[in-house]
Amino acid sequence: MKFLIASDLHGSAHFTRLLLEKFRKEQADRLLLLGDLLYHGPRNALPEEYDPARVAAMLNEYKDVILAVKGNCDSSVDQMVLEFPIEAPYLPVFQGGTSLYLTHGDVFTPEKPMPMPRGSAFLFGHIHVPVNEWRGGILFLNPGSVSIPKGESTNGYMVFEKGVFTFKKIDGTPYDKAVLRA
Ligand SMILES: [Mn+2]
């Protein structure tokens, strides 16, 4: 099974459209979203083509293949317009002998993760900057933000297939990878 992993869409219809195009092009089986889906958040400027209702409608078309966790900008009213669950603080996903723990990164952080077996991957968003680092037997990964990249980073996402995470720019160009052995 192939996963596309992305975070921090923040209501950008433009970048959500590009992301869903990539989901189809990659022929991924599941879309893992790490929070902050609809609302821009008061700390951010409005992203390109800010249209939360449109983003909700686009994501709802993929409701059967989305796994999502709650971001600090996601609220109960967001859940009212989304047809897949978004309120889990974290989700464990077991795939092909590997263990992935999805979370937004504001409650459980790389400094204070949930209890996880060694050899697991901790997948988070929130900081809008890509992370690829082994520490204490855990692989910490952040795909960066789809819509509002910070620091030197660019808009992007991650693909996971057969134990390999590939970081990609929103145009599909790979720029980094990590291996998680089963
Ligand atoms: Mn965010």
In the reported structure, the alpha carbon of residue 20 is separated from the centroid of ligand 1 by a whole-number distance in angstroms of: 19
- pLDDT of 72 reads 98
In the reported structure, the alpha carbon of residue 97 is separated from the centroid of ligand 1 by a whole-number distance in angstroms of: 30
Give buried/exposed letters for 53-89 (b at 16+ CB in 10 A, else e): ebbbebbeebeeebbbbbbbbbeeebeeebebebeee
Whole-angstrom distance, CA of residue 78 vs CA of residue 98:
31
In the reported structure, the alpha carbon of residue 8 is separated from the centroid of ligand 1 by a whole-number distance in angstroms of: 5
- pLDDT of 181 reads 84
In the reported structure, the alpha carbon of residue 166 is separated from the centroid of ligand 1 by a whole-number distance in angstroms of: 21
Token representation of residue 137: 């037997």
In the reported structure, the alpha carbon of residue 68 is separated from the centroid of ligand 1 by a whole-number distance in angstroms of: 14
Low-confidence ranges of the chain (pLDDT < 70): none
In the reported structure, the alpha carbon of residue 164 is separated from the centroid of ligand 1 by a whole-number distance in angstroms of: 25
The two beta strands, 138-142 and 156-161, are unpaired
- pLDDT of 54 reads 98
| pTM flag (> 0.75) | yes
- pLDDT of 182 reads 81
Strand boundaries in 69-130, DSSP class E: 90-95, 98-103, 121-123
- pLDDT of 160 reads 98
Element (H, E) at 52: helix 52-60
- Domain 3-179 - what CATH class? alpha beta
